[in-house]
Amino acid sequence: MSVKKSAHITAFYLETLLLITVFIAIILVLTQVFGLAQEESAEARALTDAVALAQNAAEAFSLAETPEALRELVGESAVLREDPLSLEYRDGAYRVELDWRADGGLAESTVRIFRDGITDPVYTLETGSFKEAER
C-alpha cells in the first residue's frame, strides 16, 4: 500500500510541475502579445496625432495668401526658409514641415510630420490652394 501511495504522490507532483510549466508558458506568450499591442497602440496614437497636425497645417496653408502670412498663422516659433521655400515649426513631440510651390494662382504644398528622433515622416499630406496674391 505504501508503494501505491508514493506512486500517487509522485504522479501528483509531476502533474503539478507540468501544470506550472504550462501556466508559465502561457504567461510568457500573453506578455509578448500585450507588449506588441501596446507598441501598436503607441504607433496608432502617433499616426492619429500626425494626421491631425497635417490637417491643421493644410488648413493654415489654404488660409494664408503668402508664406509670411502662413508663418504668422502657425506661430512665432516657425522658421521660414527661402531655398526651397518652406516652413518648419514644432508642435509638442512633432516637427511640421511645409513647402510652398507656386505656379500662377495655384500654390501647392507637401506637409510632412516628423516625430522626435525619427528621420522618416510619420505622415505626409499633399495639398493645394488657389492664391489671389500669386496671380
- Domain holding 117, by residue range, is 2-130
Assign 3-class secondary structure to 30-88.
HHHHHHHHHHHHHHHHHHHHHHHHHHHHHHHHHHCCCHHHHHHHHCCCCEEECCCCEEE
Q: What are 31-40's pLDDT values in tens digits?
A: 999 999 999 9
**Cis before 84 (ω within 30):** yes
Residue 135 has pLDDT above 50, yes or no: no
Q: Looking at the domain assignment, is residue 115 inside a domain?
A: yes
> Domain for residue 43, yes or no?
yes
46 belongs to a structural domain: yes
What are 79-130's pLDDT values in tens digits?
888 776 778 878 778 888 888 888 888 999 999 999 888 889 999 999 999 9
Is there a domain that residue 135 lies in? no
